[in-house]
Amino acid sequence: MKGIIVLFLALVVLVIVPAVDLAFAAGDEPGEYVDRRVIIWNLFFRLMTVAFVVGAVVSGTIIWQVWRFRESHPKAKPTPYEGTDW
Amino acid sequence: MVVELAKPRPIWQIMFSTHHTDVGLLYLIMSLAFLFMGGALALIIRAELFLPGAQIIGDAMTFNRIFTVHGTTLIFLFILPFASAVGNYYVPIMVRYKDMAYPKLNAIAFWMIPPGGALVWLGFADFTWYATPPYSIISAPGPAADMWIFGLKILGISSVLGAINFVVTILKCKHPDMSIGQVPLLAWSYLTSSLIILVAIPTFAAALLMLLTDRLGVSGFFNPAMGGDPIAYQHLFWFTFHPEVYVLVIPAIGMMYEIIPRFSRKPIYSYNSGIFAFVLLAIVGFSSWAHHMYASGMSFTEKTVFMVGTLAAVPASAMHVYNFIATMWNGRIKFSTPMMWAVGGIALFFSAGAGGVANAAMPLDFSTHDSYWVVGHFHLFVMGTIAFGSIGFLYYMFPYVTGRMYNETMGKVHFVMSFIGTVLVFFTQHILGLYGMPRRVFDYPPIPEWIAMNQIASVGAMIIGVSMVLFLINMIYSSGKGKLADTDDPFGVGGKYYYPFEAKNPHH
């Protein structure tokens, strides 16, 4: 549970802090629209870079898991719970 | 003993029963019927958009009617009733009670759905599933619009009655030896989503009444000509329907919590974090409704608040994904059809969530608002996560419901085709949105990129359509002629199942 809480807090920081930063890239003042737009697209690409990196890691992990922990894998072994009424 | 189809009974016995598995079966059959009806409308939409210009639908009004009924059907008449089907089968057994807390109320909640669905389908309204004013109150042709409003009213009451039943069953009828901290995560998902319904739906119920009286001309809540404000409707609508997104997705995640440990042959990695994430999603679901309305002229501060509120859902969703990954780690995973759907659902859930982060970021939302990006994002959630979790669970519960096994090969082909089709349709729609194509359009200019991407999406939709035909054949054939299932362990993975099979109380 501790690990999960630490992970949760880390995710909160990772998501919310850049998001607030992103929000303040958008201004309401007329005349600054073009510059703001450039900043927004810059942030968009940065955000997408982060999203794709995280996505690649998570998706890669899932794909690897599917391959490695399938029951037909040569190294597959029974889990400690098999044969019990878990 | 309840194995529904292996021991056939007269249909009227099931129809007039209040037993939870009978009501669950009725929910199941009806929700699948609406899945195919709503899906057929989706194929018509995609066929129309295959090329610019009118293809198979004569006019824009008919097109609007088709996508309105498509959305309404699949959300209110497939996803929600399907969740109720699973909940009816499993929740009483999981909390070790003989039935739902209020069996007659349960049957009434089900029997409100057919008339609600009939009103939606016979009316065939054209104002989108948002029924956004001022169009819906001034111009939308009646009686279709009024029938839609009454239909949704009935479906909303049905949802509230069902939610009351789930909450009372779980909190008050669970076995005295069982603490709330021992209730399985699938039942927890029903508890949290039911609580969301109870808080959220009354707001929409009020909005529907206001919409109706506005249409009748006796009030002007949302009518600018009478001093009303259409934006107020959007607030009321999204206060209900952003949390409703979690009402749809939380049971699907709960179903994955049942499938993934079972086929990984080990318990869930962190039960407590699963509960924590469900509760957190239920709470933050109410702090983000106005992210659908960034373009409606809110102040900068309001937009920032709702953006942060929306992004607060990301850690909770990520906790589920990491919980699933940690559960599969070091398992000995059997990739039967339900597991394939569940793992595919997780992968697409993550992708949909990543797109949602960009959507929720207020400055970026202006680039994607009302574009096909939003269509792709929303559908990736409802198809890629909710429908995948639900269909996977349908395969999982199939031997318990029918006493027979489905055809495993056809189930896997169904999954592979649906996965490819889903990626083709909804990932492409994201890109189409970034290229500027607006949503809800009957026709579009012949821009080469738009045409190419629409064709990819339409081909993907046809692949899903074909896979669904295979699914239908598999379900019908296997329920009558399939191999008899070993109902103690139909998937050969061991462990303790929660069987509808174990519901041994006599039928009411």
pLDDT the model gives residue B500 = 57
CA distances to A43, B144, B286, B469 from B220, rounded to whole Å, are: 42, 20, 27, 47
- Scan residues 1-30 of A and list those with Cβ closer than 8 Å to B: 1, 4, 7-8, 11-12, 15-16, 19-20, 22-26, 28
> Which residue in B167, B139, B135, B136 sits closest to B152, CA to CA?
B136
> Is residue A80 one of the residues assigned to a domain?
no
CB contact under 8 A, B332 and A76: yes
A86 touches chain B (CB under 8 A): yes
The answer to whether B261 touches B330, Cβ cutoff 8 Å, is: no
- Closest partner residue to B318 (CB to CB) among A11, A52, A71 is A11
Tens of pLDDT, residue by residue over B82-91, are: 999 999 999 9
Rounded Cα distance, B338 and B396, in Å: 6
CA distances to B292, B320, B323, B371 from B307, rounded to whole Å, are: 10, 21, 25, 19
Interface probe with B: pick from A2, A20, A21, A22, most Cβ of B within 10 Å: A22
For residue A12, give every residue at least 6 positions away whose Cβ sits within 8 Å of its Cβ, in sequence order, or none.
B312, B315
pLDDT the model gives residue B498 = 66
Rounded Cα distance, B299 and B291, in Å: 12
- Scan residues 41-80 of A and list those with Cβ closer than 8 Å to B: 43-44, 47-48, 51-52, 54-55, 58-59, 61-62, 65-66, 69-71, 76-80
Tens of pLDDT, residue by residue over B302-317, are: 888 888 888 888 889 9
Tens of pLDDT, residue by residue over B435-447, are: 999 999 999 999 9
> Which residue in B453, B449, B245 sits closest to B352, CA to CA?
B245
- Closest partner residue to B361 (CB to CB) among A7, A22, A66 is A22
Range of the domain at A59: 38-73
Q: Scanning every residue of chain B, which has its alpha carbon at the shortest distance from the alpha carbon of A65?
A: B329
How is residue A22 written in tokens? Answer: 């992103």
> Is residue A10 one of the residues assigned to a domain?
no
Q: What percent of chain B has pLDDT over 90?
A: 79
> How close does chain A come to B328, measured CA to CA in Å?
7
Q: Give me the mean pLDDT over the B316-323 stretch.
A: 92
For residue B69, give every residue at least 6 positions away whose Cβ sits within 8 Å of its Cβ, in sequence order, or none.
B38, B41, B120, B121, B124, B125
Looking at the predicted structure, is the pLDDT value of residue B506 above 50? Answer: no
Half-sphere exposure of B78 (CA within 13 A, CB side): 23
Tens of pLDDT, residue by residue over B210-259, are: 999 999 999 999 999 999 999 999 999 999 999 999 999 999 999 999 99
pLDDT the model gives residue B120 = 97
Say which CATH class B11-502 falls into. Answer: mainly alpha
Per-residue DSSP letter, A75: T
What is chain B's mean pLDDT, rounded? 92
Rounded Cα distance, B84 and B35, in Å: 14
CB contact under 8 A, B315 and A11: yes
- Cα A48–chain centre separation: 11
CB contacts, 8 Å: B320 with chain A: none
CB contact under 8 A, A7 and B322: yes
CB contacts, 8 Å: B267 with chain A: 81, 86
CB contact under 8 A, B363 and A43: yes
Buried (b) or exposed (e) across B264-299, using 16+ Cβ within 10 A?
Answer: bbbebbbbebbbbbbebbbbbbebbbbbbbbeeebe
> Is residue A61 one of the residues assigned to a domain?
yes
Least confident of A9-23, B38-52, B355-369, B427-441: A9-23
- Scan residues 456-475 of B and list those with Cβ closer than 8 Å to A: none
> Which residue in B21, B23, B32 sits closest to B474, CA to CA?
B32
How is residue B289 written in tokens? Answer: 């409704």
Domain total in chain A: 1
Break chain B into its structural domains and give their ranges: 11-502
pLDDT the model gives residue A10 = 76
Phi-psi region of B355 (alpha: psi -120 to 50; beta: other; left: phi over 0): alpha
- Closest partner residue to A81 (CB to CB) among B266, B350, B367 is B266
DSSP per position, B458-495: HHHHHHHHHHHHHHHHHHHHHHHHSPBP-TTSTTS--S
pLDDT the model gives residue A31 = 55
> Which residue in B68, B77, B72, B69 sits closest to B32, CA to CA?
B77
Looking at the predicted structure, is the pLDDT value of residue A84 above 90? Answer: no
Q: What percent of chain A has pLDDT over 90?
A: 23
Beta carbon pairs, A and B, within 8 Å: 136
Buried (b) or exposed (e) across A62-81, using 16+ Cβ within 10 A?
Answer: beebbeebebeeeeeeebeb
CB contact under 8 A, A58 and B321: yes
pLDDT the model gives residue A32 = 53
> Is residue A51 one of the residues assigned to a domain?
yes
Tens of pLDDT, residue by residue over B443-460, are: 999 999 999 999 999 999
B217 touches chain A (CB under 8 A): no
CB contact under 8 A, A7 and B319: yes
CB contact under 8 A, A81 and B315: no
The dihedral of CA B290, B291, B296, B298: what is its sign? positive
Q: Is the ipTM value over 0.90, yes or no?
A: no
Least confident of A48-57, B46-55, B71-80, B226-235: A48-57
Q: Scanning every residue of chain B, which has its alpha carbon at the shortest distance from the alpha carbon of A47?
A: B358
Rounded Cα distance, B155 and B161, in Å: 10
Q: How large is the C-alpha radius of gyration of chain A?
A: 22
pTM confidence score: 0.91
Q: Residue for token digits 């109410």?
A: B286
Q: Give me the mean pLDDT over the B286-313 stretch.
A: 87
Q: Give me the mean pLDDT over the B312-337 stretch.
A: 93
CB contacts, 8 Å: B330 with chain A: 69, 79
What is the three-class DSSP state of B257? helix
How is residue B213 written in tokens? Answer: 């009286």
Rounded Cα distance, B409 and B269, in Å: 30
Interface probe with A: pick from B335, B357, B385, most Cβ of A within 10 Å: B357
Provide the 10 A C-beta neighbour count for residue B486.
11
> How close does chain A come to B125, measured CA to CA in Å?
37
